[in-house]
Amino acid sequence: MIDLGEHWAFVVSAYAVATVAVAALIGWVVADARRQRARLAELEAKGIRRRSGGPWA
Amino acid sequence: MTDGAPSVGFFSRLANPGHFLAWSRYAIAPLAVAAALLVAIGLWLALLGSPEDYQMGSTVRIMYVHVPNAWLAQLCYGVMALAALGTLVWRHPLADVTAKAAAPLGAAFTAIALMTGSLWGRPTWGTFWEWDGRMTSTLVLLFIYLGIIVLWRTFEDQARAGRVIAVFTLVGAVNIPIIKFSVDWWNTLHQPASVFRAGGPTMPASILAPLLTMTAAFTVLFAVLQIVSMRTEILRRRADSMQRRHASELSARPA
């Protein structure tokens, strides 16, 4: 077991805060990516086509 | 360009949104694996493989999450500032996408840097917060990030938003050297630079190794998240333009 000494609560809290925040960030990025892919698939399923050309083609 | 025709260079082709979607797909998995491996090695070094500091004891281990996030807080802003130049000078569509994707990531890393710094400050300095140069300028950086995120959401016309935010980003960039040199300019609780300084790092290899590994890990993690966020933003703009075109076709149709 790691001995974190008298200030163990601060060390554990810092790692916990960083872990939760990074996990939330990754989760949000992945969820947003899935949402946009699903939205595009839905639009294409409705028969709405992409315009050829244009900056986002 | 003497004849006035646009020359399509290597970088322009890489940066075309369609080409970007095509090549960046293959970068995600290797970068994600590299980030995971580096985090695993970094955490092992940080928690098991490194000694305690003779002054700070175990709280030195907070540095291994605090410093990488503080570094990324500023690197993200650097990416946004370069992208802002891309928007204003070259009007490149991918520059807008780069800037917009980086803002929430920068805000998150800045928030983590502030929170872990606060948790490090309490046992080492005896206070969670002090209104000194380094901490205050980093808090200002968080507010700048949040302001930029809000601005992106305020404008319906994202091309216009891109130009306004690019100017705002470049004005806000003045805060970055203030953060960097705050520890030299003002009396502060925060320690001065100890890694990237003239004369080399001031810390032993046993502490430098986990610090650099964790910094590399977080930097690669940022690269993956940035690429994925940029791809998402391109898809969002595609879907938006498809929806707009569809709506205008419907309204043009005779009733």
* pLDDT, tens only, B188-216: 778 888 877 767 777 888 889 999 999 99
pTM: 0.89
- Whether residues B58 and A43 touch (CB distance < 8 A) is answered with no
d(CA B81, CA B173): 7
**Mean of the pLDDT values across residues B124-134?**
88
Q: ipTM > 0.85?
A: yes
Residues in chain A with CB shorter than 8 Å from the CB of B66 are 14
* B115–chain A Cβ distance below 8 A for any pair: yes
* Angle of helix A8-45 versus helix B93-125 axis, rounded to 10: 160
Looking at chain A, the whole-number percentage of residues with pLDDT higher than 90 is: 60
The shortest C-alpha distance from B184 to chain A (Å) reads 26
With cut-offs at 50, 70 and 90, classify the pLDDT of residue B3.
Answer: very low
**Amino acid type, B13:** R
Indicate yes or no: CB of A28 within 8 angstroms of CB of B104. yes
B chain contacts of residue A14, beta-carbon cutoff 8 Å: 62, 65-66, 115-116, 119-120
What local confidence, expressed as pLDDT, does residue A1 receive?
43
Please tell me if residue A20 touches chain B, with a CB cutoff of 8 Å: no
Report yes or no: B119 at the A interface, CB cutoff 8 Å: yes
User: Is pLDDT at A46 greater than 80 in this prediction?
Assistant: yes
Average pLDDT over residues B113-137: 91
B153 has pLDDT over 80: yes
Residue B4 has pLDDT above 50, yes or no: no
- Percentage helix, strand, coil, to 5, in chain B? 80, 0, 20
The mean predicted confidence, pLDDT, of chain A is 85
Tell me what pLDDT residue B18 has.
87
Closest Cα to residue A53, out of B99, B161, B245, B251? B245
The C-alpha of A46 sits at a distance from chain B's nearest C-alpha, in angstroms, of 10
Q: What is the pLDDT of residue A39?
A: 95
Return the CA Rg of chain A. Answer: 22
Name the nearest CA neighbour of B105 among B219, B27, B212, B14: B219
Among B98, B125, B235, most A C-beta atoms within 10 A, so best to mutate, is B235
- Residue B210 burial (C-beta neighbours within 10 Å; 0-12, 13-18, 19+): buried
